[in-house]
Structure 1
Amino acid sequence: MDEGAFGRAAQERAIAEVEVEMARLCELLAEGLAMGVDGGREMVGGAMSEFLVEFFGLVRAEGPRPGVREVITLPLLVHGAETGAPGPAMPVAVLHLLWWASARHLDDLTSAGAPAPAGAAAGGRVLTALAVGGQLPGRLIAGMPVGAAVRAALADELSRAWVDAVDGRLRVLAERAPNATCESVLRGYEGRTGAPYAMAAASAARLAGADDHRVAGWRAYGRAFGVLCRLADDRRDLVSGRHEGLAAGTATHLLVHLLAGLPPARRREALALHASARHSASARAEMAAWMLDEEVAESHAASVAPLAGRAHGLLDMLGGDPGCVRELHRAVEGTVGHLPGLPLAAA
């Protein structure tokens, strides 16, 4: 496989194919849930279509949101690294996208800073998220033309991801900035974001016929890559001015790193500002400026550089099809590019 065989153009085609498959699966689920009642079927199908478009921005004129490309292409590239053919992992790419559509929607509903819908509106959104994240992946796995052992392994990877991610999300919800450490935050990230990427990579390897040792290696790579994606998302949230993490009072890794480097008086000042940021736009802007300070960014980059080195190192150890492995290295570098001060080359 040459270097350009799964380049940007091929990835765009893969994303378009995944969108078509998502629409087909939503139609099937709508039919099943509504039990043939036209009004109910329209409601379910419409709710899911609105849900997926709202979250992922799957509108061709705008292109997919940041991160969607990685969600879709990661399992394709892992399968390609194992076999030279990315295409057969398309069902895993769809499964991964469905997982994120559901999990991030539930994330929004449980976020401390999000407006809480009430009554039927809240119930409808929760049920839609559960259908998208639970029933559609189950249907997809059940319908795959693979042996029973592979099907069971894929279901196990999906279950593992949900359990680990829920644990990570609960850690994030419970952790408060004054008591958090960089290590405890990373443990939460390993579940919240690392687990689904680990699932996608390991599932693609399972589908490719990899042995348990290589599957474990790909799972570790996916987890490391997912943590880097979470770190990049934290910074994008600040740079964009959305400040969703500050509004939710989240103890992000960057925030905790900043606090750890401050003398006691400045730390107390920063904690008071962070508490005010939940209710004040001006406090959020001031807190963001502290966190985006050039010196803070550089020291933070140095603290997380080993995570990028680990992802690159796992790829070097696993090897495989050169073109796909290069693209996986580039995925790490593209994510690291959102964290100023981190080296872009493999360690």
Structure 2
Amino acid sequence: MRSRHVEEGAFGRAAQERAAAEAEAEIGRLCERLAEGLAMGLDEGREMVGGAMAEFLVDFFETVRAKGSRPGMRGMVALPMLVHGAEAGDPAPARPLAVVHLLWWAAARYLDDLTDVPGAPSAGNTAVAKRVLTALAVGGQLPARLVADLPVPDAVRLGLADEVSRVWLDAVDGQLRDLTERPSAATPASVLRAYAGKTGAPYAMAAASAARLAGAGADRAGGWRAFGRRLGVLRQLVNDQRDLASGRHEDLANGTATYLLAHLLSTLPPARRREALALHAGARHSACARAELTAWMLDEDVLDGYAASVAPLIGHAHDLLGLLGGDPAFVRGLHDLVDETAVHLPGLRLAVA
């Protein structure tokens, strides 16, 4: 891995931490206005939906703190600000887009948990149905209203609105692929395609929106969108790893076809592959099956091959940054963001040292 001084630079880790705290504080102020039925660029009288959104967002940040997810939140905030810095030399104007990115993830994480967390309550439950409606407002309509209120030229506002719309379509496509694909039919390529939607899309939105805000044309915005999507895929791979390392094994309990599982299955001879698939089927209800399959997935030889297959994804992210260019200090920060993500992947050093 390349060595970088991530604490330093124009927008290093300390500055990113401050920006994340400022974004959280801004959402806190937003919640106060929402509770009064305001802050949506509309007239008064929407206390019901505003109050529900405020409560939803308070719960989101409490969950972030409880799960120790603040480093991930820092990355969500840093991405659009670093991209804007790369394009225009100043990260600050992209702070509203960092807020939009957080709002999207607040909604998406709740909706994802309805399908991914074993024992999650049914959407037929009235309380859950209310939260689903609130999540859709938080992640879809609230960002749209915030974008509509930005003091930017109409052409820029139209581009930002396009990114907010695009992210939902791309992410839902990826999530549907994730929910539909059976492990027996999954391949590493098909899993990556789902990841590019369900997790890559919001990072693509954050990066491309920041470029558009800085005045970038369609081609450069598309390049930043591609970079953001690649970064999002890497972060999904890290999420998969953390699920295994933590012992939660939510993916196995849900029967999800992760990239590591697809990689393992692709390396096995037919008889062993059938055995692995039987373990995966049993893992939904058996802790013993989950433990045994986890041992298979974390075998040193399997991880070596996994790391070798992931290394080109990391290299591509760095290559995209090289092609896009921009203010060197902020481009360096984006390289750091890739490396900070990649270092959490199992066996990576063996593949890219």
Instruction: Check if 1:241 corresponds to 2:229.
Output: no
Residue of structure 2 in register with 1:187 after alignment: 193
Instruction: Check if 1:271 corresponds to 2:277.
Output: yes
Instruction: Check if 1:8 corresponds to 2:13.
Output: yes
Instruction: Check if 1:106 corresponds to 2:111.
Output: yes
Q: CA deviation at 1:306?
A: 1.1
Q: CA deviation at 1:241?
A: 0.8
Q: CA deviation at 1:45?
A: 5.5
Q: 1:44 aligns with which of 34, 39, 52?
A: 52
Q: CA deviation at 1:71?
A: 0.8
Equivalences, count: 342
Q: CA deviation at 1:230?
A: 0.7
Q: CA deviation at 1:138?
A: 1.4
5 Å-filtered alignment, 1:87-106, equals 87-106=92-111
SS at match of 2:37: helix
The change in CA–CA distance for 1:265 and 1:66 in structure 2 (over 3 A counts) is: farther
Q: Deviations over 1:300-327 (max 9, x none)?
A: 0111211111100000111111111111
5 Å-filtered alignment, 1:279-294, equals 279-294=285-300
SS at match of 1:32: coil
Residue of structure 2 in register with 1:230 after alignment: 236
CA RMSD of aligned residues (A): 2.4
SS at match of 2:320: helix
Q: Deviations over 1:56-97 (max 9, x none)?
A: 22x7xx864342111110000000011111111001100011
SS at match of 1:338: coil
Q: Which amino acid aligns with 2:102?
A: L
Q: Which runs of 5+ in 1 are unaligned?
A: none
Q: 1:173 aligns with which of 156, 172, 179?
A: 179
Q: CA deviation at 1:285?
A: 1.7
Q: CA deviation at 1:345?
A: 11
Residue of structure 1 in register with 2:125 after alignment: 119
The change in CA–CA distance for 1:70 and 1:46 in structure 2 (over 3 A counts) is: closer
5 Å-filtered alignment, 1:194-213, equals 194-213=200-219
Residue of structure 2 in register with 1:139 after alignment: 145
* C-alpha distance in 2 between matches for 1:208 and 1:287: 47
- Percent identity between matched residues is 63
Q: CA deviation at 1:253?
A: 0.6
Q: CA deviation at 1:36?
A: 5.0
Q: CA deviation at 1:160?
A: 0.6
Comparing 159-168 with 301-310, which one deviates more in the overlay? 301-310
* C-alpha distance in 1 between matches for 2:49 and 2:281: 45
Q: 1:317 aligns with which of 317, 323, 326?
A: 323
Q: Deviations over 1:165-199 (max 9, x none)?
A: 00000000000100111111111111011111011
Comparing 126-135 with 111-120, which one deviates more in the overlay? 111-120
Comparing 65-74 with 311-320, which one deviates more in the overlay? 65-74
* C-alpha distance in 2 between matches for 1:112 and 1:63: 18
Q: CA deviation at 1:116?
A: 1.9
Comparing 63-72 with 208-217, which one deviates more in the overlay? 63-72
Residue of structure 1 in register with 2:37 after alignment: 32
Q: Deviations over 1:190-215 (max 9, x none)?
A: 10111110110000000011122211
SS at match of 1:67: helix
SS at match of 2:70: coil
SS at match of 2:248: coil
Residue of structure 2 in register with 1:78 after alignment: 83
Q: Which amino acid aligns with 1:170?
A: L
Give the alignment's TM-score, normalised by structure 1: 0.92
* C-alpha distance in 1 between matches for 2:341 and 2:115: 26
Residue of structure 2 in register with 1:219 after alignment: 225
Q: Which amino acid aligns with 1:188?
A: A
Q: Which runs of 5+ in 2 are unaligned?
A: 1-6
